[in-house]
Chain A
C-alpha cells in the first residue's frame, strides 16, 4: 500500500526533520503517550515527540545500573534508551513530559530526574474519573501550559489551542475510521499495520500522519482481504513502537489482530475533545472523565470490562491475546478475574503472554500462539 510506504518514509525522515527545525530554534517536547495532552505541546509551537520505543532487550540491560529489575518492562526500557544515548529520538527533547500514572512511571521519572540529564515534567495523574480528579488534572495541565510557555517564550493563545484540538480530533477520527475497517470479515489492514500508524501518530507530524491515514482509508475502503482469518482482540499494558513480536507471530500463524486495547501505544480515539468552554477543562474531560476505557489502575475501573466485551462482539473476535509486560502489576491482577469472566461471557479462548523484551521469548511465544490459533481454527 502506497500510504504505508509514505508513512515509513515520513518516519525515516523524522529525526533529521526535527533536528533541522531544532537547529533553527524550535523546541522539542518529548512525552510518554496515554495521558499527555499533546494538543498543548502542539499549540505552544514546540514539536511534540512521543517516546514509546520498546521490544529491545539491550535497553533493559542498559537500565540495570540505575533501576532495579522489579519494575515494568516498558519503564525500564525507557531508562535504557535515555541513558545509553544510542536511540536518536531520545536525544532530541528539550523537555520530557511523563505522566506519573503508577509506581512504575514514578520510578522512571525518579531515575531520569536524578541522572537523566534531561528536564522532566512530572505530570501527576489521578486514579479515578470523579470531578475532583478531573479538576486536579486540569490544574496539572495548567502547570504544564505554564512550563511550555516558559520553554518557548510565548503564551499559548486559546485560538492556537483550539486549532490543535481540532487537528488532533481529526487525527483520532481518521485512526478510528481506519481501525473500524477491520470490522470487515476479511480486513485488508493488518493489526501490525494499524499499530504502526498509531505509533507514527505519536512520533510523526500530526497533519502528515492524518493525511497518510486518510489515504490509507481510501486505499482499503470497500476492499476485502483474500482469506478469512481467526480474529484476535489484543489487550496489552503497553504496545511499544517496534515491539511487534506478537503481531508477527500471530500473522505468521494465520491470525489477525482486529482490535486492541492498550494503556500506552494505541490512541484512545473513540472520544474526541469537545472544543468548547474552557479548553483545559475540555482536555481534562477527554483525558480523564471520559477516558474510554479507564486503565486497570483507575479505581474502580468502571466500564472497562463492558468495553472489552462490547468491542469483542462488535469486531466478532475469535480469541483474546493478553500481552502483559512483566511487573505491570495492574494488568496482571486484573487478568485473574477478567480472564474468567471473558471466557465465560464470550466463550472464546484467551492466551496470556508475558514479556520482558527478551530474545528467548520468541520461541515460547511462537509455540503458544500457534497452539492458540489452532484451537481457534478447531472451534470454527
Chain B
C-alpha cells in the first residue's frame, strides 16, 4: 500500500461526511445551482491536468493532459458563470420593501 493511501482515505471519509452534512441543508429550491456549483468545484481537477501536461514527459502525457485542461477548465468557467446567472434570478416578492 502506498504511503499516502491511509491519510487520503481519512480525508475522503471526513470530506464525504462533511459534504453530506453541508449539502443536506441546501434548499431544494437551489438544487440546480447546487449541481452547477459542485461541477465547477470538481473542475479543480484542472490543477492536476496542468501538472500532467506541463511537466517533462512523453508527448502522450502532454496531449492527454491538454485535453484534460481544456475539458476541466471549461467546466470551471462555465460552471461558475451559470451558477451566478441562476442565482441572480432568485428574487423575493416586493413585500419586504413596504
Q: Are A and B bound to each other?
A: no
Residues of B within 8 A of A (CB): none
Contact surface of A with B, Cβ cutoff 8 Å: none
